[in-house]
Chains A and B, each alone.
Chain A
Amino acid sequence: MSPDVLDGLAQASQFNTIIAVAVGCFIGLVVGMIPGLTISTGIIIVLPLTFVLSPEISIALLLGLYVSGMTGGSFSAILLNIPGTPSASATAMDGNPMARNGEAGRAMGIAIVASFFGGFFSFLCLFFVAPLLAEVALQFQSPDLFSLVFFGLTIICSFAARSLIKGFLSAALGLAIVTIGQDPMMGTQRFTFGEVNLIGGIHFLTALIGLFAIPSLVDNFTDLINTSPGHGTLTKIKSVIPSFSDLKLMRLPISIGAPVGSFLGILPGAGGPIAAFISYDYSKRLSVDPESFGKGSPQGIAAPESANNAVTGGALIPMMTLGIPGDPVTAILIGALLIHGLAPGPLLFIENGEFAYGVIFSFFWANIFNIIIALICLRFLVKVLTIPKALLMPSIAILCVIGSYALRNNFFDVYVMFAFGMLGLAMRWLEIPIIPLLLAMVLGRQLEEHLRISLIASKNDVSIFFTSPFSLFFLCLATGSIVWSLFAEYKRRRNSTYPTSP
């Protein structure tokens, strides 16, 4: 076994790191279960802390939040029939009927245990696949890296949008925003309009806070006047630990959900909601009692919950090995690493192997603490659902200001955050997805650098992208994802089956 593995385990098992994971899990469960707050919003809340904490502790905190946020989303889906996160939408279909039958505790216990198994499976995938993929990725040259990033962007656009054109438009806007600031090759100032604060470009974390938090604050205005007074009465929770017969019933849906979630997590942009619905659908088809689905079936809870938690480990694979984020949360993780001078990618395993394995083991601890905290504190945690929004939402607004200001100690970033909030609202009105814009902001600089380095190396001969086997492979995948997306769009117009990521 590589010494980095043992060092990583030791790093992730330090007292401070473990505490950070546990705190992250607790915040994640709270944030996940509050309808209207997504995991991204939760991460925005703790983001300022990551600027001052060490990278190991920052990442441990964020991973705990990521893993538990997925599980927390199921609690409000089960209790109130309002999914706390989009990934928990499928859980509500069986979780809420079970809660209405007086078995809320049983439903939540099944969700927690299924989440653990899904997360643990994805940890194994991360542990075994990530180092291998990093080794392969070390052989990539600039043309290969350009094609890989291009493929990442096309697949994000394919999954994130109902319309491929709008997905690409969003990505193109993100790329245009990235060009503000210094040119990565020659340092020439572009589109700065003489503004000193724009020379360093627009930080994607500032953009992310605005794009996610402000629409979320506005949504809660809307929810406030559209929620009926009787809506959301909490059911009493009795036994939480699943019985042996429930565990037996959960075997099939977990064995479907965990691999499906891990695989879809690897694909940038696919995300938890798609994995949850696909797993639910397949579990129903393969179940001996498909009629029970939708009426409070334990299998109908276990399948989506194992899948959406398995997505988390899957999403960490391309993030850590290729530097490609699959969703906003992994984009923030990249941001948190970059702030501390650590660039995710294949070299992370070579230059900072101990840290890379530390991240993987922190993810392991996050799954362990997720099940422990969720099972022990469940009765207390659900009380969070009664916190008035009049206190919660203004607090989030203040934390957004801290997050954007503290990034560079600059008021300009607060204004930029607000401007991105307005952009987010406008894009939502126009049904243009936000995620491709955000991820294009993360990947845009790499895309430009590798494109220009490749062209300089080949003396402006574009055939360089087709002569390298890796590059050709990624370009074929990119074409495949576009064709598949067009086909899916055509099919979706006829019959809508699976939801897209928000």
Chain B
Amino acid sequence: MINMRTRNLVASIFLLFLCGGYAYLTVNLPTRAIENSTQPSFFPWVIVIFLTGLTFLLLIQIAVSGKQPNIERKNQVPVKRLIYGLLLSLAYMFALPKLGFVAANIPLFGGLMYLYGERRPIWIGLGSIIISVIVYLVFRKIFQIILPVGILGDVF
């Protein structure tokens, strides 16, 4: 369990790095030789100043606030499921351009059904195939939204 003070500290450190990186990129933005005009880097500089100022204010708030109790967790977080969900999503995004919408959605749908508590293999199999195909057909054929067909291009 991490208290809010520590979380704010993490946020401040991250934001300071972000400000530094953003400022570095802003310095390297091209300039335009137009008189009486603002440069493309003008607004990013305003943001750098604003963001840095706010980050320091957050740091001051952390320093002033003193020690805080740990945040009580109201709900148990299913870390394992979240990690599996994340891995599944990453695999899906990697596979989507190659496999196409329907072929990539079937394993994603089935995997998510399992992670959301469905344990009956037939339900998972049928649910993932039927819903993926229906959603594809509704959006592609009825609403004419172009979706990647991938390896199942000839089938649909």
Residues of chain A whose beta carbon lies under 8 Å from any beta carbon of chain B: 48-49, 51-52, 163, 165-166, 168-169, 172-173, 175-176, 179, 183, 185-186, 188, 190-191, 217-218, 220-226, 388-391, 393-395, 397-399, 401-402, 405-406, 409, 411, 414-415, 418, 429-432, 448, 451-452, 455-456, 459-460
Contact = CB atoms under 8 A, between A and B. Distances in A.
B92 to A, nearest CB: 8
A389 B116 contact: yes
A456 B47 contact: no
Contacts of B109: 394-395, 397-398
Contact of B40 (A190, A217, A399, A431): A190
B91 to A, nearest CB: 12
Interface string B6-25: 01101100010000001001
Given A48-B143, A169-B51, A188 B38 contact: no
A146 B61 CA distance: 30
B82 A225 contact: no
B96 A414 contact: yes
A165 B57 contact: yes
A223 to B, nearest CB: 8
A220 B116 contact: yes
Nearest to A224: B117
A176 B40 contact: no
B135 interface: yes
Nearest to A168: B54
Interface residues of B, number: 62
A169 B55 contact: yes
30 contacts: A169-B54, A175-B43, A179-B44, A179-B47, A185-B40, A186-B32, A186-B34, A191-B44, A220-B116, A221-B78, A221-B81, A221-B82, A221-B115, A222-B77, A224-B117, A226-B76, A390-B113, A391-B113, A395-B135, A397-B112, A398-B108, A398-B132, A399-B135, A401-B105, A402-B139, A405-B147, A448-B43, A456-B37, A456-B38, A460-B38
A185 B112 CA distance: 45
Interface string B81-114: 1100100010001001100010001001100110
Given A226-B76, A393-B112, A414-B96, A188 B143 contact: no
B54 A172 contact: yes
Contact of A165 (B42, B61, B144): B61
Given A48-B145, A176-B51, A398-B105, A452 B43 contact: yes
A399 B108 CA distance: 12
